[in-house]
Structure 1
Amino acid sequence: MNNHIKIVYCTQCRWLLRATWMSQEVLTTFNDEVDELTLVPSTGGIFEIYANDKQIWSRKEMKGFPEITELKKRVRDVIAPERDLGHIDRKK
């Protein structure tokens, strides 16, 4: 399966750095599972993340940005549900 991640970010809000940091974290953690990661510039305060076309985060709906551990769990749940994330999965 071709797994892809898409991060849509607001250029007016200057969220490119946040989007690239999150993309680096996802690519580092899922280097064998992610085949493609796309950054999509947009406007209007948008910050949304999709895994295989399924929305896994919306800043507006969820009232903020994801913690990186939460983002990794959500990505994992879509692209590699059987994968153990080590210490992230063991945190309480």
Structure 2
Amino acid sequence: MRTPRLEIEYCTQCRWLLRAGWTAQELLTTFTTELGEVALIPGTGGVFDVRLDGETVWSRKDRDGFPDLAVLKQLVRDRVAPDRSLGHSDRRNA
């Protein structure tokens, strides 16, 4: 297994495979060398969770919705490449 491992668990009953695949594609495009692997994990019960090395980065149930992609990229970046700029996707400094 390559590290860091990012997992996206999605609900098959809700037909969220395309959303999970698109999210994985976006993260792999952004973090081309920082992610070791990305796994899509079928689940049920409305799950849409993103985990990095077993730690939950985003849970649809806990956060009451799907992640905004820019926010998700920031959360992943903060763990795999904290000094890296995300350009236009980055949070604005106040």
Q: TM-score scaled to structure 1, two decimals?
A: 0.93
Which structure 2 residue ranges, 5 or more long, are not aligned? none
Instruction: Supply the AA of the counterpart residue of 1:70.
Output: V
Which structure 1 residue ranges, 5 or more long, are not aligned? none
Distance 1:58 1:8 in 2: 9
Distance 1:79 1:48 in 2: 18
Runs ≥4 residues deviating over 6 A: none
- State how many pairs are aligned: 92
- Structure 1 residue 83, shift from structure 2 partner: 1.2
Distance 1:13 1:50 in 2: 19
The aligned counterpart of 1:76 is 77
Distance 1:45 1:59 in 2: 8
Q: How does 1:36-75 map to 2 (within 5 A)?
A: 36-75=37-76
Distance 1:59 1:22 in 2: 13
* 8 A Cα contact 1:46 1:59, kept in partner: yes
Q: How does 1:10-21 map to 2 (within 5 A)?
A: 10-21=11-22
Distance 1:30 1:2 in 2: 13
Distance 1:39 1:57 in 2: 14
Q: CA RMSD in A?
A: 1.5
Q: TM-score scaled to structure 2, two decimals?
A: 0.91
- Structure 1 residue 84, shift from structure 2 partner: 1.2
The aligned counterpart of 1:8 is 9
Distance 1:2 1:10 in 2: 24
